[in-house]
Amino acid sequence: MRALRPPVADGLLAAGSFVLGVGVASMLEVVDFDGERRVDLWAIVLLGAMSVPLLARRRRPILVVLLVLAISTPYHLLDYPHEATMPASLVAAFAAARHSEPHRRPIAALVAVAAVTVPVLADETSGALSDALLGVGWLLMAFFAGLAVRFRESWRGAVAARLEQERADEVERRVTEERVLIAAELHDVLAHGLAVANVQASVAAHLIDQLPDRGDASLKELSTTLHDLSDTSRATLHELRAVLDVLHGGDTEPTEPAPHLGELRRLVELAEAARVRVDLETTGLPDELPSTVSVVAYRIIQESLTNVVRHSEADHVCVRLARDGARLLVTVVDGGPARPGSMAAPDGFGIAGMTGRARAVGGELHAGPVTSGGFEVRASLPLPETWQAPT
């Protein structure tokens, strides 16, 4: 059910207070309650004037109480039915407790009590201590009801803020874990390339050292350069392992090689085992892809297919890989719809991880629902000409 807008709700509340006040005054006049003065046009005007300030009860709650007190004073002094002012007074007391600042609430409570006791006790002919105490009781009930509502709203706001912070912390934790995994996979790719370079440099230097004319200055310089290259690549490997060990918190680094697009058929078989048919389309792909890009593309497709199996009722997925100039385009589209009760969302953990992977290699990723009712993941990954997959 949609809540009313604040101005509309305040207007209806002010009108209801006025109507209820006039109704109470008319009823008391019919039963000749305490012989009070008959309700006339001036009484109706005063009751209406008491209801008008309620329109500002959210913005100026203390001022509203003061205005109700000021307008109700002549009403009571003229000995109109005193209980008719209670609707406006109760609303003013409730608003003062709910909308005023905490340090002003004691003032609001005193003013609300004065709104009943002062006018009634000032009238010597009709004022009675019992009537004043009864009115004070009602006002205090309204005041504490406003405090209860304010406390409930503050509590709900604090709980919502805490849940939002916990979700943000969880997202950050998942993203951090994903970055560590990306670092591990990049380490595997780079370590393989550096290991190959180290071996080739060492072999080349050894062969040069075995040549009959190895004393030639050019060959000596080349041998020295190759030995330096071998030492540098070996030192870099040790640094990579040290950095990865820090990221893993001292855990043993992974021993399995990072997956790549050459193993894409395994993902297709896993998805089809879950009764999701996968159409794989490749257009204009180069013979060799950069290892880092291949790993990132594989992980994006893997996460996308996992989301389809978990969160969609689709039985068909299209995976497209295409080259567009110096970029690799990866697209995964399912026909949907989303499974009822699914927690998948554009800002979920999996999509945050895929986005982080794409950005790690200088690419970008977009994910979201499509007009057909399904979901689409589109990634664009750069293919620098200087990047080559190690052999």
Residues forming beta bridges with residue 382, ordered by sequence position: 327
In order along its 391 residues, the chain shows pLDDT tens digits of 456 677 787 788 788 888 888 887 777 776 655 556 777 888 888 888 888 888 888 888 878 888 888 788 788 777 777 778 888 888 888 888 787 776 666 766 666 666 556 555 555 444 455 666 666 677 777 777 877 888 888 888 888 888 888 888 887 777 777 776 766 666 666 666 677 677 777 778 777 777 777 667 777 788 788 877 777 777 777 666 666 665 555 554 444 556 778 788 888 888 887 788 889 888 777 767 777 788 888 889 988 888 888 888 888 899 999 988 888 999 999 987 877 765 444 455 678 778 888 887 889 999 988 887 889 999 999 887 544 433 3
CA distance 109 to 100: 11
Q: How many CB atoms lie within 10 A of CB 204?
A: 17
Write a three-state SS string for 266-333: HHHHHHHHCCCEEEEEEECCCCCCCHHHHHHHHHHHHHHHHHHHHHECCCEEEEEEEEECCEEEEEEE
Computed from CA positions of residues 375, 266, 192, 249, in that sequence, does the dihedral angle turn out positive or negative? positive
CB atoms within 10 A of CB 90: 23
Count of beta carbons in the 10 Å neighbourhood of residue 276: 18
For tokens 């002919």, what's the residue?
Answer: 125
Element containing residue 28 per DSSP (H, E): helix 6-30
Compute the distance between CA of residue 294 and CA of residue 262 in angstroms, rounded to an integer.
8
- Which helix (H) or strand (E) segment holds residue 364: the answer is strand 364-369
Dihedrals phi, psi of 319, to nearest 5 degrees: -115, 120
Q: Is 335 exposed, middle or buried (0-12, 13-18, 19+ CB in 10 A)?
A: middle
Model confidence, pTM: 0.46
